[in-house]
Amino acid sequence: MMHRDYHKWYSPALQRDMELLVFGHGGLPMIVFPTSMGRFYDYEDRNMIKAVDWRYENGALQAFCVDSVDAESWYNKNIHPRERVLRHNRYEQYLIQEVIPFVRLKNASGDLALTGCSFGGYHVMNFYLRHPDLVTQAVSMGGAFDIHQFLNGYYDDNCYFNCPSDFLPHLNDDWYLSRFRARAKVVLATGENDICLAENERLGHIMDEKQIAHWLDIWRSGTGHDWPWWQQMAVKYFG
C-alpha cells in the first residue's frame, strides 16, 4: 500500500503556513510543483500519482508535492511587479531552507528530482538553472518559461535572473556550466499542439548552444496542453 502523508508548518521564509503531501516511502525523491496558482493536492487529484502508483508502492519513487504562492507573486496584479518577483524569491528560499532539508530528513538518497506541468514546468527549470548543485533530474511537462507576461513592462535584475530564456544565453560562469554539463538529467517534454511548444523549442535551442545535455521530447499524434497527456508523460519518464 502506498504511503501518503500530509504535512503543514509555519514557513519563516514566507511568514505563513505552508502545506505539502508526500507519496511513497523511498527511492528517488522528487519535488512536484503545481500548475499556475495550483495547490499541493492537484497532482494527486489529477491522477498523476495514480499514473505510476506502482513506483511509489515499491519504493522506487517518492513525491513531495509542494504548494505554490503564484497568486501572491507572479499572478498578483494588486502589487508592483518588483514585489511580485521578490515574493517569488522568498518562495525559492522556502524551498531551499525548508523543503529540501525536509526531503533529506525523509529520504537518504543523494539525488533530487523536480517535476511539474505548465507553469509548474517553469518552476522546475528556473530552480534547476539557478541551483544546479541541488538538482540531479529536472522534468518539465508543457512548461512555460517566459515571465515577462507578469511584469507589465517592468524589469530588474531579479526579473532577469528568474527568466531562463533571458539569463541562460549570457551565462558564462563555469561554476554553473560545469554542473549543467555533468550532473542532471533534463527533460523538456511538450506536444506538437502544446501552447508552450515554441517556448520549449526556444529553451532547448539555448541549451544546445550552451552544450547542456537535455532531451527536448516533442510528442506527436495531436498532443496538447492538458492533464491526460501529462499523465502519459509521467509514465514515460517516471514509470
Domain boundaries, the chain: 4-238
**What digits encode the pLDDT tens for the residues 109-151?**
999 999 999 999 999 999 999 999 999 999 999 999 999 999 9
User: What band does 5 get if pLDDT is binned at 50, 70 and 90?
Assistant: very high
Which ranges in the chain belong to alpha helices (H)?
Answer: 42-45, 48-51, 53-57, 81-94, 100-106, 119-130, 157-160, 164-167, 174-182, 197-209, 227-238
pLDDT for the residue numbered 182? 82
Question: What's the whole-number average pLDDT of the chain?
Answer: 97
Average pLDDT over residues 15-31: 98
pLDDT tens digits for range 190-217: 999 999 999 999 999 999 999 999 999 9
Name the nearest CA neighbour of 109 among 26, 179, 31, 185: 26
Question: Which pLDDT band holds residue 1 (cuts at 50, 70, 90)?
Answer: confident
Per-residue pLDDT, 9: 98
Checking if the pLDDT of 183 tops 80, the result is: no
Question: Which residues lie closer than 8 Å to 236 by C-beta, 6 or more apart?
Answer: none
**Is residue 121 a contact partner of residue 39, using CB atoms and an 8 Å limit?**
no
Which CATH fold topology does 4-238 show? Rossmann fold (3.40.50)
| pLDDT in the model for residue 181 | 86
What is the structure's pLDDT at 10?
A: 98
pLDDT at 85 over 90: yes
Q: Per-residue pLDDT averaged across 28-53, rounded? A: 98
Give the pLDDT mean for 162-170. Answer: 97
Q: 106, 5 in Cβ contact below 8 A?
A: no
pLDDT-based confidence at residue 93 (cuts at 50, 70, 90): very high
